[in-house]
Amino acid sequence: MSETPAPILVEAIGLTKFFNIGRGQIVHAVDNVSLQVHEREIVGLVGETGSGKSTLGKALIGLHDKTSGSVRYRGQTLPLKYGPEDFREQAKRAQMIFQDPYSSLNPRMTVGEIIGEGLKLNSSTSANDVREQVAEWLRRVGLEPDHMSRYPHEFSGGQRQRIGIARALIMGPEFVVCDEPISALDVSVQAQVINLLDDLKASMGLTLLFIAHDLSMVRYVSDRVAVMYLGSLVEIGPANKVFFEPKHPYTQLLVGSNPEPDPRTEHRRRSTLIKGEIPSPINVPAGCRFANRCPHVMDVCRQVTPILHVPKDETVSDRQVACHLY
Amino acid sequence: MSERDVVLEVEDLKVEFDTYGGIVHAVRGVSFQVRQGETLAIVGESGCGKSVTMQSIMGLIPMPPGRITSGTAMYRGQDLIRNKYLGGRDIRGSAIGMVFQDPMTSLNPTMTIGDQIAETLQVHRGFSKSQALARAVELIAMVRIPDAAKRASQYPFEFSGGMLQRSMIAMSLACEPSILIADEPTTALDVTIQAQILDLLMDLQKEKGMAIVLITHDLGVVARMADDVMVMYAGEIVESGTIDDVFYRGAHPYTMGLRAAMPSRELGARQRLTPIDGSPPDLFSPPSGCGYFARCPQAMRMCQAQHPYLMSVGTAHHSRCWLQHPDSTRQVPGLSIPHLGSVPVQS
């Protein structure tokens, strides 16, 4: 956590993304989310499948149109729906690393074409320079320059993820959305990729939004952690605070469900108190979205939607919780 | 390790696959025991042979291209590799149940959940259709799916991932197996649902006294569930022992490496993870020495030349590492992982 607050790089204000799936049904994927990401900060975004974390990440960099609300980049408001020019402009500033290193690389393109495509489309770099930069990036991510002429199927999962990283970073972005970059990888390879991202973050001064469901890894990687449930943020604060002293009942459930690789801790763990599963994000009712599973539910929870605020008993105002308990 | 009855004893299992690239030696001499009422966890990375080991015992690998070249798996005095029938009935699905990783694709989308569970009972126990369906509803209730009777008549697409996995567990337990094999049962699920499924498995084990073989790559799940642990690497067991042996007295550099590659609670935000460099060996032509040689930070010259055997390092604790050999002059490796602190070594 940086002591002096760095300027805000990316800011979502009341960002909302609904998907209309017909017959009057609307999926509330991201509902009125406000989030600030400071320069050179790593913000972790956690939540279960269907909580809207990937949609939020994509909406931030324009891969999804926004239903309402806005995204500001260095104070400049970005359009609700990107045109071709906007994409070209944004590609140089914001990039994305995808979850699945198997389906996110075109199997018919060589690694050199995949990594160099962005440069070729977005700048007047000559073909020769593109090749040189691709070679340089292959080295930086721990591969060999002569891998350029190979196809994705010749690489392992960890190597493919390195290719995905090179493709995103060759554009020299400031802001990178990492959408579960390590969840498809084995434990020993996860650490390799995390360390690589850490080095590149330091050398390029990157700002990252790190989306994942592995809580231990998110805590380790991030400066701040944001927790999402059914399209809204329920808690945000310094990583260690959110992980070790969670406030929101949902964060408590999430942290309490995360198995630690330590038998003594695990044998002391009580069984899960909260039953049930994440409800459907279609036509969500008013009030707190966690109300029907919450062990501390009150009458007010079913009527008034809680907003993110600093808890009353908090001495430092670096954490916010959307819960009527605080 | 307790003195409970051994329900399954596997000796020297070897499995190969013919491929266009040559023969893959997927499992290279694996021996272990499964005890009644206990959970054995088989841990390892993709391609280490953990799933193939159990699938070959269950006769679930396609042959050809697969081939079991050696080994026995004794269940109640009978070798399952050679004969899968006990008293004229297939033991698979009755005496040994299995839960697969991906509940979305392992269930039949065109049959109701109730019918799929009932089918097991009709085939293995000779129940009538109506008897089987009535029992299926009880089983659905047993795995704590609310509204069991209504749910039994629904199709898989109407269930969430967690409920599908519960249904799979209900199906695998329909014939009251003495062994339940769970192959990555929670990998496709979210952590909160994972916790519910693990609780369910532990409760059912207490109730029914069955043995569980848990195949997983997640050391957190192992820490929560297992009594005994077996770590596999490149088709072999590299370390085995009780859960405390493996987690607190780890005696193989690979096990230690896996622990150091994971962020632990104690790890501060600015400490680096210690990855295991490189990748597992090619199982087309497995190395003649130690399979972990190329990635091992403690590798010695002899590790490349000589294939290590499983050496005893405790009562029931074994490690396939030359550093554990009585003649080794070097200290047991890796036991002081920076952020885990040093762990006392059991002689």
Closest of A43, A178, A215, A41 to residue B262, by C-alpha = A215
Structural domain boundaries, residue A302: 8-93+174-182+209-321
Please name the residues in contact with B126: beta carbons below 8 A apart, sequence gap of 6 or more: none
Position A43 in a domain = yes
Best of A153, A266, A268 to substitute, by most chain B Cβ atoms within 10 angstroms, is A266
pLDDT at B270: 60
Respond yes or no on whether the N-terminal peptide bond of residue B65 is cis (omega within 30° of 0): yes
pLDDT at A176: 94
pLDDT at B261: 86
pLDDT at A2: 47
Contact yes or no for B273 and A271 at CB 8 A: no
Contact yes or no for B276 and A261 at CB 8 A: no
Residue ranges of chain A with per-residue pLDDT less than 50: 1-2
Please name the residues in contact with A22: beta carbons below 8 A apart, sequence gap of 6 or more: none
All residues of chain B having their beta carbon less than 8 Å from the beta carbon of residue A186 are 45-46, 217
CATH number for A308:
3.40.50.300
| Complex-level ipTM | 0.81
CB contacts < 8 Å between A and B, how many?
A: 124
Position B205 in a domain = no
CATH number for B218:
3.40.50.300
Q: How far is A63 from chain B (nearest CA, A)?
A: 25
Cα–Cα distance between A88 and A79 in angstroms, integer?
A: 13
Structural domain boundaries, residue B272: 1-95+181-186+210-336
3-class DSSP assignment, residue A92: coil
pLDDT at B38: 93
Q: What is the pTM (predicted TM-score) of this model?
A: 0.84
Position A135 in a domain = no
pLDDT at B345: 39
Domain count across chain B: 1
Residue ranges of chain B with per-residue pLDDT less than 50: 1, 333-347
**Structure tokens belonging to residue A161:** 């993820």
Position A125 in a domain = no
Position A266 in a domain = yes
Position A305 in a domain = yes
pLDDT at A115: 93
Position A52 in a domain = yes
Position B203 in a domain = no
Domain count across chain A: 1
Q: How far is A263 from chain B (nearest CA, A)?
A: 4
Compare all CA atoms of chain B with the CA of A268 and give the residue at the minimum distance.
B224
What's the DSSP call for residue B125? Answer: H
pLDDT at A4: 65
Cα–Cα distance between B96 and A93 in angstroms, integer?
A: 56
**Structure tokens belonging to residue A266:** 């695990």
CB-CB: which of A156, A188, A277 is closest to B193? A277
Position A115 in a domain = no
Contact yes or no for B221 and A213 at CB 8 A: no
**Structure tokens belonging to residue A94:** 């914001």
Position B50 in a domain = yes
